[in-house]
């Protein structure tokens, strides 16, 4: 009889402790203290007799994801994604945050959220033509619309502009500071060469002309390179913008 009573008391205390730990973990999570939340969740997982394994592992993955540890988050989600829809959705998000588009493409989406993430991954992978919208989802369409606004710059035009007016090709690629600097580096030795010509100092004149030619050729290459990297750079900036936005597509799924 005493043994049964002791067991019952132990079970009651265990349940109380479990509930208190869970509430404390939720409090820490809401305070954005993800490190301590992880500690509390692991305590619950290892100390409780019947922990909610799937939910706890999903929450652990969410905490690691919010900490920026995408690899560990992916590990937790991957372990339970076939048994927990929330983890499966979070797995897609984590893959997208790591730009593991090839992995996403090899998984068949199980719901609308996963399908939308796959569409956006295909967009950033260059698999959609301009102004092509694969869904009626408002958020996805907004992401597609803003993505199509990113311009591409023609490298030939950039080179031609810089050939006529040094630095103009960089202005064309929205690199105003670089354009002003390039114009100055060519103008100064050009003026110096004229000055040395006027005072009949040929060695210095030839040196200044050589510098002008070198900087001029460098400017042509710089204009070409600015045009080439314009779209990838702005695409990368837009990618960072959407993953840090309040789009529901990228909000993790979890419940305490």
DSSP string, 13-35: HHHHHHHHHHHHHHHHHHTT-HH
Count of beta carbons in the 10 Å neighbourhood of residue 45: 15
Examine the pLDDT at 197 and tell me if it is beyond 90: no
| pLDDT of res. 35 | 95
Dist CA 180 CA 203 (whole Å): 28
Question: Computed over its alpha carbons, how large is the radius of gyration of the chain?
Answer: 30
| pLDDT of res. 21 | 75
Helix/strand number for the chain, H first, E second: 12, 0
The count of residues in the chain is 256
Pick 43 or 235 by higher pLDDT.
Answer: 235
What element of type H or E holds 148? Answer: helix 138-148
List pLDDT tens digits, range 151-167.
Answer: 999 999 999 999 999 99
| pLDDT of res. 15 | 47
| pLDDT of res. 200 | 81
List pLDDT tens digits, range 97-144.
Answer: 999 999 999 999 999 999 999 999 999 999 998 889 999 999 999 999
| pLDDT of res. 205 | 87
- The helix/strand/coil state of 227 is helix
| pLDDT of res. 31 | 94
Confidence of residue 1 (pLDDT cuts 50, 70, 90): low
| pLDDT of res. 14 | 44
Examine the pLDDT at 93 and tell me if it is beyond 90: yes
**Stretch 157-183: mean pLDDT:** 94
| pLDDT of res. 50 | 65
Examine the pLDDT at 202 and tell me if it is beyond 80: yes
Q: Tell me how far apart the 2 most distant CA atoms of the chain are, in Å.
A: 116
Check if the beta carbon of residue 236 is closer than 8 Å to that of residue 40: no
List pLDDT tens digits, range 23-57.
Answer: 889 999 999 999 999 999 998 888 766 667 899 99
Examine the pLDDT at 7 and tell me if it is beyond 80: no
């Amino acid at each position: 009889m005493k043994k049964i009573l002791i067991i019952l008391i132990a079970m009651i205390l265990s349940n109380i402790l479990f509930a208190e730990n869970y509430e404390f973990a939720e409090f820490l999570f809401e305070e954005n203290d993800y490190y301590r939340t992880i500690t509390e969740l692991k305590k619950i997982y290892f100390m409780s007799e019947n922990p909610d394994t799937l939910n706890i592992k999903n929450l652990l993955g969410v905490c690691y994801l919010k900490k920026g540890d995408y690899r560990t988050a992916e590990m937790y989600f991957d372990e339970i994604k076939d048994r927990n829809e929330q983890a499966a959705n979070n797995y897609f998000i984590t893959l997208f945050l790591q730009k593991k588009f090839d992995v996403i493409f090899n998984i068949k989406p199980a719901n609308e959220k996963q399908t939308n993430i796959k569409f956006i991954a295909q967009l950033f992978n260059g698999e959609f033509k301009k102004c092509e919208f694969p869904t009626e989802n408002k958020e996805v369409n907004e992401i597609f619309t803003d993505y199509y606004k990113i311009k591409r710059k023609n490298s030939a035009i950039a080179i031609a502009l810089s050939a006529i007016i040094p630095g103009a090709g960089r202005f064309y690629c929205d690199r105003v500071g670089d354009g002003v600097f390039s114009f100055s580096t060519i103008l100064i030795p050009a003026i110096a060469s004229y000055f040395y010509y006027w005072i009949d100092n040929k060695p210095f004149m030839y040196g200044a002309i050589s510098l002008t030619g070198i900087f001029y050729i460098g400017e042509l290459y710089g204009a070409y390179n600015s045009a080439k990297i314009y779209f990838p750079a702005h695409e990368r900036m837009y990618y960072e913008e959407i993953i840090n936005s309040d789009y529901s597509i990228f909000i993790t799924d979890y419940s305490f």
